[in-house]
Amino acid sequence: MAKPRPRVKLPKTASAGEVITIKTLINHVMESGQRKDKEGKPIPRQIINKFTCEFNGTPVFSCDIEPAISANPYFEFTAKVMESGKFKFSWVDDNGETYTHEQGIQIK
Amino acid sequence: MLKKTRMLAAVAAVAGFALAGSYAVAEPADDDLVIDGTMKMTVRAKPPEGHPLDEVRSGWLYRTEETRALEEDTFQNPGMLYVERGEEIWNTADGKAGKSCASCHGEAAASMKGVGASFPKWDADAKRPINIELRINKCRQENMQAEPYKFDHADQKALTTYIKHQSLGMPVSVDLSQGDMQSWWEKGKETYYTRTGQLNLSCASCHELNNGKYIRADHLSQGNVNGFPTYRLKQANMVSLHNRFRGCIRDTRAEYPKAFTDVLMALEVYVTWRGTGLSVETPAVRQ
Looking up residue A16, the CATH number of its domain turns out to be 2.60.40.10
Could you confirm whether B206 is annotated as catalytic? no
- Judge whether A1 lies within some domain: no
Categorize the per-residue pLDDT at B208 as very low, low, confident or very high, splitting at 50, 70 and 90: very high
- Burial (CB < 10 A; 0-12, 13-18, 19+), residue B36, is exposed
List B101, B139, B203, B248, catalytic entry: B248
Q: What is the pLDDT of residue B216?
A: 85
d(CA B30, CA B42): 13
Query: How much is the mean pLDDT over chain A?
Result: 94
Interface test with B, best of A74, A77, A101 (most B CBs within 10 A): A74
Strand order in the sheet with B285-286: B237-239, B230-232, B285-286
Q: Residue B20 — very low, low, confident or very high, per pLDDT cuts 50/70/90? A: very low
A31-57 average pLDDT score: 95
Question: Which residues does chain B have within 8 Å of residue A30's beta carbon, measured at their own beta carbons?
Answer: 236
Ramachandran assignment for B134, one of left (phi > 0), alpha (psi -120 to 50 degrees), beta (any other): alpha
Across A57-84, average pLDDT: 94
> pLDDT (tens digit, 9 = 90+) per residue, B104-126?
999 999 999 999 999 999 999 99
* Chain A partners within 8 Å of B154 (Cβ): 1
Nearest Cα residue to B227 out of B166, B280, B172: B280
A86 occurs within a structural domain: yes
Q: What is the pLDDT of residue B28?
A: 87
> Would you call B242 an interface residue with chain A, using a CB distance cutoff of 8 Å?
no
Q: Given an 8 Å threshold on Cβ–Cβ distance, is A72 in contact with B85? A: no
How many separate domains does chain A show? 1
% of chain B with per-residue pLDDT over 70 = 91
Instruction: Identify all chain A residues contacting B1, using CB atoms and an 8 Å cutoff.
Output: 73-76
Alpha-carbon span B167 to B112, nearest angstrom: 7
The average pLDDT across A29-55 equals: 95
> Has residue A88 been placed in a domain?
yes
Distance CA(B69)–CA(B6), nearest Å, equals: 10
Per-domain boundaries in chain B: 1-30, 31-287
What digits encode the pLDDT tens for the residues A86-107?
999 999 999 999 999 999 999 9
In this predicted model, what pLDDT tens digit does every residue of B147-179 receive, in sequence order?
999 999 999 999 999 999 999 999 999 999 999
The predicted model scores a pTM of 0.86
CB A5 within 8 A of CB B71: no
Q: What are phi and psi of B219, to 5 degrees?
A: -85, 115
The reply to whether residue A23 touches residue B76, judged by beta carbons under 8 angstroms, is yes
What domain range is A19 assigned to? 6-48+57-107
Task: Answer yes or no: is pLDDT of A1 > 90.
Answer: no
> Is A7 part of the contact surface with chain B (CB cutoff 8 Å)?
yes
Which residues of chain B lie closer than 8 angstroms to A74, CB-CB? 1, 76, 78
Superfamily of domain B31-287: Cytochrome c-like domain (1.10.760.10)
